[in-house]
Amino acid sequence: MASSTVTSSQPERPPRPNLAFRQLRGSRSPAEFAALVRRAAREIGERVSCDARYVGRVEAGEIRCPNYAYERVFLHMFPGRTLTDLGFAPRSSVRGRAARAALETRGVAEPYDTPGPSAQRDTYDPSDPFDPSDPLDPHGPHGPHGPHDLHDLHDLHDLHDALSTYDPCDPFGPYGAPPHPCDPYEPYEPHAEDHLNHEESDVLRRAFMTGGGATVAAATLGPLGLTTEAAAAAARPTRRPGASEASALEEAVRCIRLLDDRHGADGLYRRASAPLRAAYALLDAGATRQTTTDRLHAGAGELAISVGWLAHDSGRFDDARSHYAEALATARMSGDAALEAHAFCNTAFLARDAGRPREAVRAAQAAQRAAGPLGSPRLLSLLALREAGGWAGLADRTGCARALARAQALFGRGHSDADPEWMSFYGEAELEGLEAQCWSTLGDWRRASRHARRAADLQDPHFTRNIALYTAELADDLAREGRPDEAAQAGLRVLSLLDQVQSSRIHTMLAGTARVLMPHRRASGVSEFLDRHARG
């Protein structure tokens, strides 16, 4: 599963199908078998993000040896068997004895080993209230978002300065740091959060835009920033926030969303947390008018969700969960049903990606309860899709199909004045793309490829990144469906878009597709795709 960080001098061999593992799956579908793997993991206290695609990759021979978490799960499922009996290669042949010996000599912990349950970082339920006795409570003064000192407002100026000269095609990003290397072939690792820390290209999609909007946000919030001496002395504002600060906060959130439509780049997630602290500092300072206070609560909550998405999309799931929980707490304190629905919506999406499909279903259903009185069929449609993704992860084809039908019916009711501003991305293309992901999770590659193709065809040309994303999904589905020539053509279209788009997520998807296509090099177009992909 995880590949060695030591580069081999030998050419990569095409993967050899794992027939032993395929035989063990028997008559079950890949999605059904993945559900059994997740259930077995829970029985022994492990957490793995197994789905139909992962099972397909094992059977295709792409994963020559699983990491230690999956090893424990598989040996629990098939007692008396070894990894070799399950069709995997010896670990030493995959990773290399020299690299392992070097790590052991330095006393470095095994990078691919997953600690047991007692060593896992503690997580929390987004609905849990703040515990003042817990020094690590995410909402407390020592949590990841506190204390909210106003001197953090100075970081808004730093962020704008970095972005004002930012080139989205610069692989070193606005802060001069190249992305960290990782295994591009394994998005399902329990350690994916660590390996994908470099994935700041996706992070930038949710960061402040270059130019006007960011300038307004930084300049308007700027007067509240304190001198170093004043911040050190009291960390309190010179005046209470008003309508201009609320407008600046709302503009900052818009900037983050607008960049999502364009391109990704490197280096902003760590910097994005400072503006979030600044937003909560505005709340701590207190506005003179209730209407302004309500706007500040809504803006801070939406910014928390946006920063959470930065973490989510770059594989930092624990951080994302914390940010989403903060948004949910803000929504409940202020009685903001729209913000609550948004927070639960993203929590459901995160739970699906983190391999917690039942939580995804529950969070999506909670979001629908919050959104019910808001009068937005399109919002309810998106939330039904979030629920469908959870059912797909549970291998519940019937539940997934029902949720998809509900999503389509609600979408058909059209736009409403009550549609939230943050839903501007949700059109027919996104509907098709999310449905494609559901069928892909269920292992129905034919349906998945059909919907992915429609998603790419329907997407507005302005949304270059989404076109690349949907086409990459199409290429992968076609490859797994057994249509290598069409998959290669789709992959070539994605490669032609990567001059305009910087997205590690898309690169990872293409890498997986390339490995599936390696045994089909003689098919039309496949050799060209593999060669262009290898050249980067």
pLDDT range class, residue 28, cuts 50, 70, 90 = confident
| Residue labelled with tokens 């249509």 | 483
Percent residues over pLDDT 90 in the chain: 39
Do 100 and 155 sit in the same domain of this protein? no
Look at residue 259 in the predicted model and tell me its pLDDT: 61
Q: Which of 112, 111, 137 lies closest to 124 in space, CA to CA?
A: 137
d(CA 125, CA 140): 15
Whether residue 25 is predicted with pLDDT greater than 70 in this model: the reply is yes
Look at residue 435 in the predicted model and tell me its pLDDT: 98
Do 181 and 75 sit in the same domain of this protein? no
Mean of the per-residue pLDDT values of the chain: 73
Residue 399 lies in a domain: no
The lowest-confidence range among 74-88, 234-248, 275-289 is 234-248
Average pLDDT for residues 274-298, to the nearest whole number?
80
Whether residue 192 is predicted with pLDDT greater than 50 in this model: the reply is no
Number of folded domains that form the chain: 3
Average pLDDT for residues 260-279, to the nearest whole number?
60
> Which range marks the domain in which residue 531 is found?
427-536
d(CA 454, CA 459): 9
pLDDT range class, residue 312, cuts 50, 70, 90 = confident
Last residue of a domain, one of 312, 335, 358: 335
d(CA 388, CA 357): 10
Residue 170 lies in a domain: yes
pLDDT in tens, 413-430: 999 999 998 998 899 999
Do 200 and 266 sit in the same domain of this protein? yes
Do 71 and 207 sit in the same domain of this protein? no
User: Other CB atoms closer than 10 Å to residue 23's CB: what's the count?
Assistant: 11
Do 447 and 511 sit in the same domain of this protein? yes
Q: Which of 498, 502, 503, 501 lies closest to 532 in space, CA to CA?
A: 498
The lowest-confidence range among 4-8, 220-224, 252-256 is 220-224
d(CA 369, CA 379): 12
Residue 125 lies in a domain: no
pLDDT in tens, 252-264: 777 766 665 554 3
Do 237 and 319 sit in the same domain of this protein? yes
Q: Which two tokens stand for residue 455?
A: 């998603």
6 DSSP 8-state letter: S
Residue 295 lies in a domain: yes
Residue 36 lies in a domain: yes
The CATH number of the domain where 525 resides is what? Answer: 1.25.40.10
d(CA 513, CA 529): 10
Residue 232 lies in a domain: yes
Whether residue 521 is predicted with pLDDT greater than 50 in this model: the reply is yes
Do 243 and 164 sit in the same domain of this protein? yes
Do 162 and 277 sit in the same domain of this protein? yes
Cβ 387 vs Cβ 403: under 8 Å: yes
Give the 3-state DSSP-derived string for 286-346, with helices as H, strands as E and coil as C.
CCCCHHHHHHHHHHHHHHHHHHHHHHHHCCCHHHHHHHHHHHHHHHHHHCCHHHHHHHHHH
Look at residue 375 in the predicted model and tell me its pLDDT: 95
Q: Pick the more confident residue, 380 or 32.
A: 380
Do 159 and 76 sit in the same domain of this protein? no
Look at residue 245 in the predicted model and tell me its pLDDT: 80
d(CA 351, CA 391): 12
Do 156 and 287 sit in the same domain of this protein? yes
Look at residue 152 in the predicted model and tell me its pLDDT: 42
Report the amino acid identity of residue 535: R
Whether residue 167 is predicted with pLDDT greater than 70 in this model: the reply is no
User: Other CB atoms closer than 10 Å to residue 123's CB: what's the count?
Assistant: 15
HSE-up (13 A, CA, CB side) for residue 234: 7
Last residue of a domain, one of 58, 76, 106: 106
Do 102 and 158 sit in the same domain of this protein? no
Residue 249 lies in a domain: yes
Last residue of a domain, one of 277, 308, 335: 335
Q: Pick the more confident residue, 153 or 535.
A: 535
Q: Pick the more confident residue, 119 or 377.
A: 377
Q: Pick the more confident residue, 326 or 205.
A: 326
Residue 471 lies in a domain: yes
| Residue labelled with tokens 């992305």 | 179
Report the amino acid identity of residue 310: L
Q: What is the DSSP string of 413-460?
A: T---TTS-GGGGG-SHHHHHHHHHHHHHHTT-HHHHHHHHHHHHHHS-
Do 99 and 175 sit in the same domain of this protein? no
Look at residue 281 in the predicted model and tell me its pLDDT: 80
